[in-house]
């Protein structure tokens, strides 16, 4: 992926802009912003703050370009509030805003063209002239930055990946070496730790793992072997303190394991357990809606999207289902495609099929 510093050298080293910054020239507000590497903040030219050394400064035509590189808006001069007198720059800012506002569902050139009222060709050309990259590259960069931010704030690599809009790990890993400097898993080891205890048991669907913190269940997983399930748990929380024995959490964990097994046996149709899940606001909305799906019935991804007031966010709903790591407690197995096919399931389509059949059979009997 191209970096702005690589495609816009004349802007990055423009002496006229530096002179405007030194003079605090308010007439240049809206024509560019300057960013300071030592503080991580970008400002408008007239900002009253103390001037940094020249070698610490970079210039960007629009605030969104500075933010793409990881800089934050100055709270003193509020550079985002200034409108540009250049219609080209204003168009580009509208495009950036449209992409940022619809990060749950990727925007195409066609939809961006319809929203801005300009042709796709003109939109693409203008955006690239101002930003140095295409709208698609801008969206990809924002997605990767979102992933990095989530991981830095303690989210697991998997949660951050799905929340940022990656449908699979392949597209993330294709970009990781150039932009992260390491693999996503390595990058994610800087996340905050948790104290987790787990236990495993046999069930109708193979092996079952239930893990919890003092606050509630943080993982319910289905698999073929204990080794596979435990390995996945450690990968999910690489910086956590994880053990299979803890006298504080053990009584609650044993009770929750019993409840899950009873549910799998069809003895308790509803599974209400306290959870301790790291999630975004959007994921929580989806998961809450999943818990409203009655036992033995299904909903389509489209129906879930409509129920949460995001009818166009079907793909984002599917990602939220895929990022769920509390099987059964968050019944993502009850969500299928609009054509009635099963769609995906984190713990295997055969298990999804068996779960749905078992629930339907329980209602009949």
Average pLDDT of the segment spanning 325-335: 94
Long-range contacts of the stretch 355-364 (C-beta < 8 A, 24+): 355/205, 355/328, 356/298, 358/204, 358/266, 359/266, 359/269, 359/295, 359/296, 359/334, 360/296, 362/266, 362/269, 362/295, 362/296, 363/295, 363/296
The DSSP secondary-structure symbol of 119 reads -
199, pLDDT greater than 50: yes
- Please name every residue paired with 243 in a beta bridge, in sequence order, or none if there are none: 197
User: Which pLDDT belongs to residue 3?
Assistant: 34
- Overall fold of domain 281-364: Arc Repressor Mutant, subunit A (1.10.10)
Query: Of residues 73 and 106, which shows the higher confidence score?
Result: 73
- How sure is the predictor about 275, in pLDDT bands with cuts at 50, 70 and 90? confident
Confidence of residue 4 (pLDDT cuts 50, 70, 90): very low
- State the pLDDT at residue 344: 86
Mean pLDDT value of segment 34-54: 91
Backbone phi and psi for residue 195, each to the nearest 5 degrees, phi listed first: -100, 115
Query: For position 2, what pLDDT does the model report?
Result: 32
Sign of CA dihedral 163, 166, 168, 173: negative
Distance CA 154, CA 209 (A): 22
Question: pLDDT band for position 190 (50/70/90)?
Answer: very low
> Rounded to 5 degrees, what are φ and ψ at 143?
-65, -45
pLDDT value for 168: 55
Residue 24 in this model has a pLDDT that exceeds 60: yes
What distance lies between CA 219 and its chain's CA centroid?
A: 19
**Which segment of 13-27, 127-141, 342-356 scores lowest on mean pLDDT?**
127-141
Instruction: Evaluate if residue 7 carries a pLDDT over 80.
Output: no
Q: Confidence band (pLDDT; 50, 70, 90) for 171?
A: low
- Percent of residues, the chain, with pLDDT higher than 90: 31
Tell me if residue 77 is catalytic. Answer: no
Q: What is the mean pLDDT of residues 262-276?
A: 86
> Does pLDDT of 273 surpass 80?
yes
Among 140, 141, 167, 164, smallest CA distance to 152 is for 164
pTM above 0.75, yes or no: no
Task: Give the chain's mean pLDDT.
Answer: 81
Contact (CB, 8 A) for 211 and 219: yes
- Which of 47, 74, 77, 332 is labelled catalytic? 332
Confidence of residue 235 (pLDDT cuts 50, 70, 90): confident
- The matching CATH number, chosen from 1.10.2020.10, 3.40.605.10, 3.30.160.70, 3.40.190.10, for 195-255 is 3.30.160.70
- The topology (CATH level 3) of 1-84 is DNA Methylphosphotriester Repair Domain (3.40.10)
Q: What is residue 174's predicted lDDT score, i.e. its pLDDT?
A: 55
pLDDT band at 105 (very low <50, low <70, confident <90, very high): low
Which of 43, 77, 96, 321 is the catalytic position? 43
43 assigned to active site: yes
Q: How far apart are CA 170 and CA 338, in angstroms?
A: 26
Per-residue pLDDT for 79 more than 70? yes
Give the β-pairing of 195-203 and 241-243: parallel
Work out the end-to-end distance of the chain between its first and last CA atoms, rounded to an integer number of angstroms. Answer: 57
- Looking at residue 98, its pLDDT comes to 85
pLDDT the model gives residue 330: 94
Do residues 156 and 278 touch, judged by C-beta distance below 8 A?
yes
Cα–Cα distance measured from residue 161 to residue 172, given in angstroms and rounded to the nearest whole number: 7
| Mutual angle of helices 87-101 and 135-152, in 10-degree steps | 50
Averaged pLDDT for residues 57-74: 85
Q: Determine which of 9-13, 32-36, 87-91 has the lowest per-residue pLDDT on average.
A: 9-13
Angstrom distances, CA of residue 40 to CA of 29, 71, 141, 182, 240 = 19, 5, 18, 22, 29
């Amino acid at each position: 992926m191209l970096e702005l510093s690589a495609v816009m050298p004349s802007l990055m080293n423009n002496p006229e802009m530096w002179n405007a910054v030194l003079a605090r020239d308010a007439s240049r507000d809206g024509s560019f912003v300057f960013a300071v590497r030592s503080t991580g903040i970008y400002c408008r030219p007239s900002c009253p703050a103390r001037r940094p050394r020249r070698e610490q400064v970079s210039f960007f035509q629009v605030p969104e370009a500075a933010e793409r590189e990881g800089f934050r808006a100055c709270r003193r001069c509020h550079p985002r509030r200034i409108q540009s007198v250049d219609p080209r720059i204003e168009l580009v800012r509208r495009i950036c805003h449209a992409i940022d506002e619809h990060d749950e569902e990727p925007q195409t050139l066609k939809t961006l063209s319809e929203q801005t009222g300009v042709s796709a060709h003109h939109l693409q050309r203008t955006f690239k002239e101002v930003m140095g990259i295409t709208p698609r590259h801008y969206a990809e960069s924002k997605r990767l930055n979102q992933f990095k931010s989530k991981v830095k704030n303690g989210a697991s690599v998997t949660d951050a990946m799905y929340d940022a809009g990656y449908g699979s790990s392949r597209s993330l890993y294709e970009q990781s070496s150039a932009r992260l400097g390491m693999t996503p898993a390595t990058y994610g080891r800087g996340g905050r730790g948790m104290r987790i205890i787990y236990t495993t048991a046999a069930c109708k669907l193979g092996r079952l793992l239930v893990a919890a913190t003092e606050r509630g269940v943080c993982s319910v997983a289905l698999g073929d072997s204990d080794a596979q399930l435990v390995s996945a748990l450690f990968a999910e929380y690489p910086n956590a303190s994880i053990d299979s024995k803890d006298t504080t959490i053990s009584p609650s964990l044993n009770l929750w394991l019993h409840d899950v097994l009873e549910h799998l046996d069809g003895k308790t149709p509803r599974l209400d357990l306290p959870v301790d899940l790291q999630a975004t606001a959007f994921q929580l909305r989806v998961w809450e809606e999943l818990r409203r799906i009655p036992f033995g019935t299904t909903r389509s991804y489209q129906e879930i999207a409509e129920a949460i007031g995001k009818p166009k966010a079907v793909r984002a709903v599917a990602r939220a289902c895929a990022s769920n790591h509390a099987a059964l407690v968050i019944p993502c197995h009850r969500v299928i495609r609009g054509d009635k096919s099963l769609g995906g399931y984190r713990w295997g389509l055969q298990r999804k099929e068996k779960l749905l059949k078992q629930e339907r059979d329980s209602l009949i009997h």
